[in-house]
Structure 1
């Protein structure tokens, strides 16, 4: 990952932001899911939300062609 970062002088900061971006969803997903289930909505909205997030992620990755 460090080889494709745009600025070699800010490598540590960029890797830190990348780490937060990778782990943020894993930290927030259980909170959001438990809130939906706790409100009495059941598990269906949690699964539908997960499918929507996966579809959105796949759509947002399509325009990426190459690295600089």
Structure 2
């Protein structure tokens, strides 16, 4: 599996994730993008969006 720091991960994904949006490794590791020793993105966090889907609104109105 590829290991990238947050900065390189954002460049590859063309996103602007913050530390709050991703799970980072506990210890620094070598980033395959920039070659520096940094904390690596392990995964994305599931964040609540604050809105409900149209399907859930239909089931609530019954």
Task: Say yes or no: TM over 0.5.
Answer: no
Range into which the TM-score falls when normalised by the shorter chain? under 0.3
**So what's the TM-score if we normalise by structure 2?**
0.26
**So what's the TM-score if we normalise by structure 1?**
0.25
Q: RCO greater where, 1 or 2, for CA within 8 Å and sep 6 or more? A: 2
Compare the two structures and name the one with the higher strand fraction: 2
Compare the two structures and name the one with the higher helix fraction: 1
